[in-house]
Each structure stands twice: as structure tokens, then as C-alpha cells.
Amino acid sequence: MADQWREAMEFAVQVAKEAGAVIREALKEDVSVMLKSSPADLVTATDQKVEFGVVYSCVEDKMYTGRKGKGAYCNGQKLQVSGQKDVTKSMIITELGSNRNPEIIKIVLSNMERLLCIPIHGIRAVGTAAVNMCLVASGGADAYYEMGIHCWDMAAAAVIVTEAGGVVLDAKGGPFDLMSCRVIAASSKEIGERISKELQLIPLVRDDGKKE
């Protein structure tokens, strides 16, 4: 796993340099620094725009990478979303999340119920936002949505999804907002927007602390 992290680090440093970003010394240090500071994904932004993302799924030993305008890859193989547009044929990933407030749990479950009743084909939960989004990028699922996650959960994978031909949207529809703590990643705009119509929003505190 350390080798994979080093590879991710080297890729990150190389792309960041090309993008003219200032690289923090910590990024060049030992892999253990990264393991402490970034558990699942690694991302560097230029002018507040995400340029590239790396997600490493240690369970499967899969390294997902995506770079704006240059495509998305898994272990070197080009990624492409399923392209599914028909929500009734869609396999959707979501998570139960970590919030144990009974009112929030009710919303999470009722959102799943509404989607199942459209009907959609099925729902899966893999366990982590970053890998869920990469599954959409690789065509293994047609969409993923979640509310209550953070910018570090989705920044890297958002590039990977869009570079694989998918879309990232806000959970209420409209443009994706990295600081909003919610996302829909989909294989097509049609499926993403259809899902957003069914979702009751969960009250959240944004990552940047701004009011909605």
C-alpha cells in the first residue's frame, strides 16, 4: 500500500507542478505524512478549481486518477461511465451515513424508499464516498448520491467522474458545490436530475461555514 501511496504522491506532485501550483513540503515528504493527513484521497486545487484527483482503493488495490481534459483511469485503464439514461434500469449507490440523529435517519431511509418506488433497479452501499464515485466513473454503478459528506470525500473523485463522461450535481439539482457536503454523481444528466427530484434535503453545515 505504501508503494501505491508513493505513486499517487508522485503523480500529484508532477501534475501540480505542471499546473504551476505551489507544492507544500509535506506533499514531498514520507508517505506516512499523507496517511495521517489524507486518509482516502488526494487533491490539489489551482485557483480554487480542482485540476486532478487520485483515489486509491486499498481493499481492491485500485488506483483511480483523473485530470481535467486528460481523462480518467483505473490502474492505467481508461474509464467510461455506463451512459445509462433510464432511471428504471439504474443501479444506484448511496450510504446510510454516520449521522445517528433519528430525524436524519428518517430522511435518509425515506429518500431510498422514494427512489426504490420510481422504481430503480437497485441500491448498493460500498462504504466510502470516494470509491462510490469511482464506481460510477467506471460504469459499475449508474449513480451515487449522499448528503453529509465533506469536500475531502468528493473533490478528487468529482474530477474522475466528469473525466469519465459522467456528471456531478448538487443533491437539489443544479451545479455541484464542493463545499455543500452533498453530491449526486451520475452516468448521465438525465439520471442525476431524476434522482435530485426525489431527494429530500438533509439540513447540513457547509464545509466553508457559509449560509445557504
Ligand X SMILES: O=P([O-])([O-])O[C@@H]1[C@@H](O)[C@H](O)[C@@H](O)[C@H](O)[C@@H]1O
Radius of gyration of the chain (CA): 17
**CB of 100 or CB of 211, closer to ligand X:** 100
Chain residue at closest Cβ approach to ligand X: 95
Among the listed residues 98, 103, 175, 211, the single contact to ligand X using CB under 6 A: 98
- The least distance separating ligand X from the CB of residue 127, rounded to whole angstroms, comes to 7
Tell me if 41 contacts ligand X by CB under 6 A: no
Q: List the interface residues with ligand X, window 136-155 (CB under 6 A).
A: 146, 149, 153
State residue 155 phi and psi, 5-degree precision.
-60, -55
Q: Binding residue per annotation — 142? A: no
**CB of 39 or CB of 119, closer to ligand X:** 39
- The least distance separating ligand X from the CB of residue 1, rounded to whole angstroms, comes to 18
Q: If DSSP states are collapsed to H, E and C, what string results for 170-189?
A: CCCCCECCCCCCEEEEECCH
CB-facing half-sphere around the CA of 2: CA atoms within 13 A: 5
Among the listed residues 95, 142, 177, 198, the single contact to ligand X using CB under 6 A: 95
User: What beta strand segments (E) does the chain contain?
Assistant: 41-46, 49-57, 62-67, 71-74, 77-78, 91-93, 122-124, 143-147, 167-169, 182-186
Helices and strands counted in the chain (H then E): 7, 10
- The least distance separating ligand X from the CB of residue 134, rounded to whole angstroms, comes to 12
- The least distance separating ligand X from the CB of residue 99, rounded to whole angstroms, comes to 8
**Binding interface with ligand X (CB under 6 A):** 95, 97-98, 128-129, 146, 149, 153
